[in-house]
Amino acid sequence: MTGQVTSLRSVGSTVYLPSLLFGIGQGAVVPVLVVSARELGASLAVAGFVVALMGIGKIVADVPAGILADRVGERRAMLVAIVIALASLVVCAFAPAVWVLGAGVTGLGLAQAVWGLARQAYLTDVMPYHLRARALSTLGGTQRIGLFVGPFLSAGAVSVWGIGAAYGIHVVVVVIAGAVMLALPEPPTGRASRTPETPSGTLDTVRRHLPVLRTLAMGALLLSAVRAGRPVAIPLWAEHLGLDAAQTSLIFGVSGGIEALVFYPAGFLMDRYGRLFTVLMSTIGLAAAYLLLPFTNGFVALMCVGAVMGLFNGMGSGINMTISADVSPPDNRPTFLGVWRLLSDIGNGLGPLLVGGIAAVALAPAVASLGVVSGLSAVIMAVWLPRYSARR
């Protein structure tokens, strides 16, 4: 599709509303997965692994999701994701054993991969370059809002109807998202011809675009690791300081709230001043916050550093999607984006592992290591990121 959409409002119903609904469903289900596994007899370690299967499923499906979107188109791929999500939710809700629950959770990860890839490719196609960053940062922002709202809906429903209600919420919002996408017309665009990808075609895509994948995509991988480390670093340091669960939750909530508020300004800055300006602001700010974190000695200090993390993490909202969209080839964009998202998701998994692994020896270096990684990401981006040009 070629970019003929002139405003974000024109795709609000077809893209952003379903994204918000999908995020609400995810936010409703994730908090109860451990409880579901425990009720089926899983140990704490096994229950944690069951939750991790969602991320594993997402990593496994990133590249196939790109191939699927290349073959059937982004809109149909999103509908496929909805079908996979519904089937997986039924499996989770009625799982008679832990391994069945694990299969359902893996399916949810598969659905997330297809859904996320298709939405990104769709917006990249229909949005003109000067609106692309705002479009993609808003996409990420609606997902964040959904993930924030979902647990509150789940908590109320579960207290009345039990754990199954959380899965029911996800089913309802996914059905609504699917109905919205079926009922509303496609934005006025013309699909560019594409050659359907095959596994060999995917390898060819990687070979042809290896220079950008081994440079910019590595910077994106490191940035993803830095972001994913925050939910581990803040609670670990709060525990080290002797803060209670309520204080830790408040710190994390304030950090997440600030992040959710700045997603649109982040996109505006990317479109107005360029991708490099925004990514350097985000990575350098996060590096400073992580390096300051070991010097905090109480609730107020940790709250301030957490707020700074939320600000600069939010100011980078949509940056990975935007950069990958900018450098993606028009002829087989979804496949390229699938490979990029695979690398980013690997980074998401490595961040917590880095913190946890070093924390086994010493906590302060573990937290500070994320600052070093963020600085390295900034250097890679500064060297390799193409400069923004309003004339593009």
pLDDT level of residue 369 (50, 70, 90 thresholds): very high
pLDDT level of residue 1 (50, 70, 90 thresholds): very low
pLDDT in tens, 329-348: 888 888 999 999 999 999 98
Proportion of the chain above pLDDT 70, given as a percent: 92
Identify the pLDDT of residue 87.
Answer: 97
Q: Is 269 helix (H, G, I), strand (E, B) or coil?
A: helix
Identify the pLDDT of residue 149.
Answer: 86
Domain 8-185 has CATH 3.40.1190.20: no
DSSP annotation string for 289-330: HHHHGGG--SHHHHHHHHHHHHHHHHHTTTHHHHHHHHHS-G
Cα torsion angle, 176, 104, 355, 379, sign: negative
pLDDT in tens, 269-280: 999 998 999 999
111 pLDDT exceeds 50? yes
pLDDT in tens, 150-169: 888 888 888 889 889 999 99
Give the integer Cα–Cα distance in Å for 4 and 226: 35
- Residue positions counted in the chain: 392
Identify the pLDDT of residue 136.
Answer: 92
220 pLDDT exceeds 90? yes
Residue range 279-290: average pLDDT? 96
108 pLDDT exceeds 80? yes
Among 133, 135, 127, 108, residue whose Cα is nearest residue 23: 108
Residue range 255-275: average pLDDT? 89
Among 240, 245, 250, 213, residue whose Cα is nearest residue 337: 213
Among 127, 122, 376, 379, residue whose Cα is nearest residue 270: 127
Identify the pLDDT of residue 266.
Answer: 92
Count CB neighbours of 119 within 10 A: 26
389 pLDDT exceeds 60? no
Identify the pLDDT of residue 2.
Answer: 47
Give the integer Cα–Cα distance in Å for 154 and 151: 5
**pTM of structure:** 0.86
Mean pLDDT of the chain: 87
Identify the pLDDT of residue 191.
Answer: 47
pLDDT in tens, 178-209: 888 776 555 444 444 455 555 546 788 888 88
* CB-based contacts of 11, cutoff 8 Å, min separation 6: 5, 123, 126, 127, 135, 187
Give the CATH fold of the 206-384 domain. Answer: Growth Hormone; Chain: A; (1.20.1250)
- Domain range annotation of the chain: 8-185, 206-384
206-384 matches 8-185 in CATH topology: yes
